[in-house]
Amino acid sequence: MAETEIALDIQNLKKYFGGIKAVDGCTFQVPKGQISGLIGPNGSGKTTTFNLLTGVLDADSGEVLYNGENIVGLKPYEVFNRGISRTFQITRIYREMTVFENMLSASSMKMPVREARERAEQLMEFVTLTKLRGEYGGNLSYGQQKLLEFARALMTDPELILLDEPAAGVNRTLLNNLLDHIHHLQEDQGKTILIVEHDMNVIMNHCEKVFVLDYGVKIAEGLPEDIQKNEDVIEAYFGHR
């Protein structure tokens, strides 16, 4: 099999909270230009890993190589300005700002104002929020907030997009829209996408590669259909048979 390019090279990443080993020597490589999934039982360290990758948390040790540069220890805005963007499990939008202002807040200061406005308009169109552009973030439904957060994460045209549970709390129609958008980003624009998700339908039907975490360690990786049959994965989810 031909070697695929690596977007994000995670080496022996560790994060302990007191005695709890949230991420304990995690190593995996996210392939470039693909949709990958990160799964694992509750408390397996998925969200912590995301927080470490985006600088929201500082890693205790380990490396994350992005374009040949170690991004561990960078501040979140520095990671963002290098082209890595994310959403959160529980949406984090500015509730007292309008949809349009939320969008603009994610534009880098270097981007000309007019360009930022145009891009915000396009992205709102892309996720069908144009009608709600003047509405305050706090007045949107949960699903709409997810779309807004997703669109906001795309403002600076990032190369790598990390999505933390995009399906949680979103109705089917909206979820299918969101997944269409994600595929569109990957197929037409060659973006790399890493998704943390509990909804196995999303992972199995939409990801090309899946990584499985348990107790802060990667226990398996591979194609979705192989992961489904993997003994270690089944044990991690359901215990011994």
Partner 1 sequence: MQERAEIRSKYWLALFLVAAYTVPFAVGIYTENVFFDLQWLADLTTVILNGIMQGGVYAMFAVGLTLIFGVMRIINVAHGELVMLGAYLTWMFFFYVGIDPLLALFITLPIAFCIGLLIQKLLLNAVVGGPELTPLLITFGLGLTIIHIVEAIFTTDYRTIPYAPDALQLTETIAVSKSKIISFVMAAFISLSVFFFLKVHRIGKAIRATAQNADVAMVCGINIFHIYMITSGLAAALAVAGGALVSIQFGFNPETGVLYTLQAFAIIVLGGRGHYIGALIGGVMLAVIESLISFMIPNGTAMVEIASYGMMVFVLLIRPRGLMGPKEN
Applying CB under 8 A, the residues found at the interface with partner 1 are: 54-56, 75-77, 80-81, 85-86, 92-97, 101, 104-109, 113, 116, 152, 155-156
In 3-state terms, the chain is what percent helix, strand and coil (to 5)? 40, 25, 35
CB of 241 to partner 1, least distance (A): 41
How far is residue 150 from each of residues 60, 128, 169, 177, measured CA to CA in Å?
A: 29, 12, 14, 12
Residue 29 tokens read as: 């490589």
Which is nearer to partner 1, 44 or 87 (by Cβ)? 87
- Residue 19 CB, shortest distance to partner 1, in Å, is 24
Residue nearer to partner 1 on the CB measure, 11 or 81: 81
**In this structure, which long-range contacts are made by residues 163-166, counting pairs with CB atoms below 8 Å and at least 24 apart in sequence?**
163/86, 163/87, 163/193, 163/194, 163/195, 163/196, 163/197, 164/46, 164/47, 164/50, 164/86, 164/87, 164/88, 164/89, 164/196, 165/89, 165/196, 165/197, 165/198, 166/87, 166/195, 166/197, 166/202
Residue 196 CB, shortest distance to partner 1, in Å, is 15
Q: Six-digit token pair at 16?
A: 């302990």
- Closest contact distance (angstroms) between CB of 214 and partner 1 is 27
43: CB partners within 8 A, 6+ apart: none
Q: How far apart are CB 154 and partner 1 at their closest, in Å?
A: 12
No. of helices (H) and no. of strands (E), the chain: 9, 10
Q: Which secondary structure element, helix H or strand E, spans residue 86, and what is its range?
A: strand 84-86
Between 81 and 130, name the residue whose CB sits nearer to partner 1: 81
Least Å distance, CB 53 to partner 1, is 11
